[in-house]
Amino acid sequence: MDAASLLDVSLPEDLLQPLLTASNSSSLKEALEILIEYSRTVVGRFDLASKNILAKVLQLTQSIPNSSCQYLLLSLKLLRNLSAGEITNQNSFIEKNGVGLVLGLLRSMGLESDLDRGIIRTALLVLANVLLAGEKHQRAIWCQFFPDEFVTLAGLRSQETSDPLCMIIYICCDGSPGLFEEFSGDKGLPVMAEIVRTVSLVGFKEDWFKLLVSRTCVEETHFPILFSNLCQVCASGNCEDSNSRDDTFSSEQAFLLRIIAEIVNERIEEITVPHDFALCVLGIFKRSIGGVDFFSRSKSSLPTALTAINVLGYSLSILRDICAREVPAGSNEDLSDVVDALQSYGLIELLLSLLRDLEPPAIIQKVMSLNENQEGTSVYLSKTCPYIGFRKDIVAVIGNSVYRRKHMQDEIRERDGILLLLQQCVVDEDNPFLREWSIWCVRNLLEGNAENQRVIADLELQGSIDLPELAGLGLKVEVDQKTRRAKLVNVPSKA
């Protein structure tokens, strides 16, 4: 007698017979396979609910030996289908202590062992289908899994399990503000940190992880603590402290910023960014500058092989998109105050300083090199872009910040930044779309600002040198003989 026949014989008659009858089959394996297929339909789920099949399957999961993984997986798949949108089955699952039975099954098999991830995933999908019935069902699952079981599940470095786990946590938190308060507290954020660690290693296929990150980090104010939990470089949670000398970041922190950058870019029109979040990102950007070697030329775009550079780039990308959003007419949002807050913490001053320290774009360096060869002088040593697109990202943040914000346009002029930004209006192979972003930036600087327009009109430079690449753009570079700095001007059109 094979193992399957032995299992059929060992099961109680009052447990086995209803399953065989409902499926019109003669063996347990065949019965489960038939019922799984039948329960895919609304009619099938309703019919099996009237026969109380879910309760029998719950009993079955308790009776099957842990060594019979195939039967456990089939049973869980049937439970998953039965609880999909069928309220009678969803209620029965809670009433029959299905949550406790599933948890007991996972514990008995050892969540920390190399258990077949397919069994864990299917068990989590069962719970996910049940909790869709409403807050009562969500709380029944939450109270048995939060926080310890969630932490253990989050620690399984498997995409198969992390995706449904994120779904369960997000749906519970979305359906009950009280549960989200627990999740964002001292007991819950370690769960989120463990999820980030796992996803940073194994990735994700479904959007539940990004929705959870968005809710926790962008829409609410818990980003600083979560970021700190991923690496104790900011143990106080005060991410705005730019004077910290600890410029070390973890790869998990860089990954979290990467995901947040995607979220802010994709959903900036839907979400309101809290001040604390924006200022924290600015603080991280300031700290990351100290950990980057600006004298080692990079030919890599984000993500690079270096964590500090990734933190620098993704925090800058987030700032770019925060500053890009327009407040809809008649809206009560205080987005302009967010940008003003960034300005008051030195955003514009910092970005102009970084841009000044960078070596000029390659096309302008050619002009300067030609002139210096003629004069017998040498080009001064400047910093390089730590990743492809860094210069463009700086210009983009500035351009978005000054859009219809006269006080910020004025700050650029007062800090002698207009000529610096004009110099960026060129094609640069290390900064795709630099010219387009720079033109957008200059356009925003001039819009509705007579003082800035007057600065452009009054430019008087000496030592003009033409270059074919610039002439094709209607531009020319002029080098100041005293400062040795290149400046970009328009070529007057001929009548």
Report whether 226 contacts 181 (CB < 8 A).
no
Report whether 81 contacts 130 (CB < 8 A).
no
Q: Where are the alpha helices (DSSP H) in 157-238?
A: 159-175, 177-183, 189-202, 208-213, 223-230
Q: Where are the alpha helices (DSSP H) in 345-449?
A: 347-357, 362-375, 390-401, 406-414, 418-422, 434-446
451 has a pLDDT exceeding 70:
yes
Mean pLDDT of 82-108: 94
213 phi and psi, to 5 degrees? Answer: -65, -45
For the segment 110-135, what is each residue's pLDDT rounded down to a tens digit?
Answer: 655 555 788 999 999 999 999 999 99
Instruction: Let me know how many helices (H) and strands (E) the chain has, helices first.
Output: 28, 3
Lowest model confidence (mean pLDDT) among 51-55, 232-236, 259-263, 297-301: 232-236
CA distances from 128 to 51, 160, 165, 169 (A): 23, 14, 8, 9
Amino acid identity, position 52: N
Lowest model confidence (mean pLDDT) among 4-18, 59-73, 235-249, 387-401: 235-249
**Token pair in block for residue 44:** 């099938």
Sign of the four-CA dihedral 428, 430, 436, 440:
negative
270 phi and psi, to 5 degrees? Answer: -100, -25
Mean pLDDT of 11-26: 92
pLDDT of residue 470: 47
pLDDT of residue 7: 65
What is the spatial distance between Cα 450 and Cα 9, in angstroms, rounded to a whole number? 91
pLDDT of residue 270: 85
Report whether 489 contacts 422 (CB < 8 A).
yes
What is the spatial distance between Cα 113 and Cα 284, in angstroms, rounded to a whole number? 37
CA distances from 184 to 191, 212, 450 (A): 9, 11, 49
Lowest model confidence (mean pLDDT) among 153-157, 191-195, 346-350, 426-430: 426-430
SS3 per residue for 13-34? HHHHHHHHHHHCCCCHHHHHHH
For the segment 344-403, what is each residue's pLDDT rounded down to a tens digit?
Answer: 999 999 999 999 999 988 777 776 666 555 554 444 568 999 999 999 999 999 999 999
What is the spatial distance between Cα 406 and Cα 410, in angstroms, rounded to a whole number? 6
What is the spatial distance between Cα 76 and Cα 36, in angstroms, rounded to a whole number? 10
pLDDT of residue 110: 66
Report whether 94 contacts 136 (CB < 8 A).
yes
pLDDT of residue 176: 87
Paired sense of beta strands 486-490 and 475-479, if any: antiparallel
> Within its chain, how far is the Cα of 375 from the centroid?
51
pLDDT of residue 476: 57
- Name the pLDDT band for 242 (thresholds 50, 70, 90): very low
Mean pLDDT of 455-473: 51
pLDDT of residue 115: 58
Give the mean pLDDT of the chain.
85
Amino acid identity, position 215: R
DSSP secondary-structure letter at 183? H
Question: Cα angle vertex 426, ends 482, 354, to 5°?
Answer: 65
Q: Facing residues of 489 across strands?
A: 476
Q: Facing residues of 476 across strands?
A: 489
Mean pLDDT of 197-218: 96
Angle of helix 53-63 versus helix 98-109 axis, rounded to 10: 20
34 has a pLDDT exceeding 90:
yes
Report whether 258 contacts 303 (CB < 8 A).
yes
pLDDT of residue 134: 94
- In terms of pLDDT, which residue wins out, 492 or 119? 119
DSSP secondary-structure letter at 274? P
Question: Cα angle vertex 421, ends 415, 422, to 5°?
Answer: 125
465 has a pLDDT exceeding 50:
no
What is the spatial distance between Cα 415 and Cα 471, in angstroms, rounded to a whole number? 29
194 has a pLDDT exceeding 70:
yes
CA distances from 306 to 42, 176, 249 (A): 52, 40, 10
- Name the pLDDT band for 241 (thresholds 50, 70, 90): very low
pLDDT of residue 5: 56
Give DSSP secondary structure letters for 93-132.
HHHTTHHHHHHHHHHHH-TTS---HHHHHHHHHHHHHHHT
For the segment 83-94, what is each residue's pLDDT rounded down to a tens digit?
Answer: 999 999 999 999
CA distances from 319 to 275, 340, 398 (A): 12, 13, 10
pLDDT of residue 195: 98
Lowest model confidence (mean pLDDT) among 328-332, 335-339, 453-457: 328-332
CA distances from 276 to 230, 280, 289, 308, 345 (A): 18, 6, 20, 22, 12
- In terms of pLDDT, which residue wins out, 376 or 211? 211
**Token pair in block for residue 365:** 């360096």
pLDDT of residue 473: 47
